[in-house]
Structure 1
């Protein structure tokens, strides 16, 4: 009979030990002594159909500047007049003053700028072109401290930077199972990435694209913690432990 309290204590310890242990360290398989070198994938975003671009043009010729501005004010939509923005159509074309239709789908922002500059050189003297992507936005939701949608001003953003903008994962976030949702040409793809592994750097989904959604899934510990059926389990476990310790003390 005297062994029963010890059995209860052992039972309580076993229950607490059943909580799954998870790796909370990013890229935990990186070598501690050797220098790990990983081939980087292409990171800069490519212009897609439906993208909204801000395009400004200047040159050394005041007459050419006035011509471009005058045509712009006559041909642009209300949306374009306010910020000189241009929408990439379903054929991957953007319609610009003087130039007309120009296919820029699949190019980077820098390549698009060079294409526009080259086309304008036939009509303007030494054109200076600036291009900016206005709809580079990503959304981070799930087990992060500050879930939200973020507008990116540059042309590159990786998954770690997006998580940093969202205040990083909570302790309940599953680093080994981060979901990336991406839509390209009307086709939606979903990929899960393991941030405990260094191979994630080689994934084309590690570098985010416009309108990507990042979802951090909660682990089972949080599901059990917030389940109505399991909220009393820690209290019951604590009571069993306390009773077992009290009985052991009384027997002694």
Structure 2
């Protein structure tokens, strides 16, 4: 009887150790930029600049020393406030399916694929017959990125500025949790209706030169679970079955021991 009990104890210990080893991760699974040396200077040749896409919401303001002269080249709401009076609000432009915006006086201008600076230059050229030395400010209104998967705060985040890196986006989501797979982060990008899937390894310094290191508007960053999370999920799903089997084994063992 003691021999049989000892075997059961040894078996239980082996199962426990097996589960523990399977669920453990190593340092290489969670550390960023592992191949970067101390005091190493890394010069990135990544010169990515965002360009406008279909369905972008773009804010454009045209101003000159003569406010009345530049007024016709800005979109304003015609809605009135309470009592019939209200302060007009400047409206934004939406890039249509042809990649164009309908600009006051000038007409349709194609800006899809252009950077903000290129769009400024194009507008100055179009406005040259009407205005002298116009000042043009352009801002992308719908610059958001979505971070999903094994992060501490998944969600969609508004970007303040014209540029954001995948690391900054992950920072907005309060970093990857311990179960996030850092060497295979997926970035889903939309090019005017065409989805492009690119993976980036954040454990290597080469990530700095990845084509998706700098994100564009409406990019989706997905962090998949690592092996530890997959193992834990499998164990959780089988927990009920494991308890039932264990109860059956114990019951059978007790019956055998009481009859011997």
What are structure 1's unaligned runs of at least 5 residues?
A: 76-80, 234-252
Match of 1:51 in 2: 56
Q: Does 1:183 align with 2:190?
A: yes
What are structure 2's unaligned runs of at least 5 residues?
A: 79-87, 243-260
Cα distance between partner residues in 2 of 1:44 and 1:120: 25
Q: Which has the higher contact order (CA 8 A, sep 6+)?
A: 1
Answer yes or no: is the 8 Å Cα contact 1:93–1:104 preserved in 2.
yes
TM-score, normalised to structure 1's length? 0.78
Answer yes or no: is the 8 Å Cα contact 2:22–2:231 preserved in 1.
no
Answer yes or no: is the 8 Å Cα contact 1:98–1:123 preserved in 2.
no
How far 1:19 moved relative to its partner?
Answer: 3.3
Q: Does 1:27 align with 2:8?
A: no
Answer yes or no: is the 8 Å Cα contact 1:224–1:230 preserved in 2.
no
- Among 231, 238, 241, which residue is 1:229 paired with? 238
Answer yes or no: is the 8 Å Cα contact 1:57–1:128 preserved in 2.
yes
Q: Does 1:68 align with 2:68?
A: no
Q: Alpha carbons of 1:119 and 1:168: their partners in 2 closer, same or farther (altered >3 Å)?
A: same
Residues 162-198 of structure 1 show CA distances to partners (whole Å, capped at 9, x for unaligned) of 0000110111111112111111121112122111111
**Count of residue correspondences:** 228
- Among 17, 21, 43, which residue is 1:17 paired with? 21
TM-score, normalised to structure 2's length? 0.76
Q: Does 1:153 align with 2:164?
A: no
Q: Does 1:113 align with 2:120?
A: yes
Answer yes or no: is the 8 Å Cα contact 2:76–2:89 preserved in 1.
no
Cα distance between partner residues in 2 of 1:63 and 1:83: 15
Q: Does 1:131 align with 2:135?
A: no
Structural RMSD (CA): 3.0
Answer yes or no: is the 8 Å Cα contact 2:144–2:156 preserved in 1.
yes
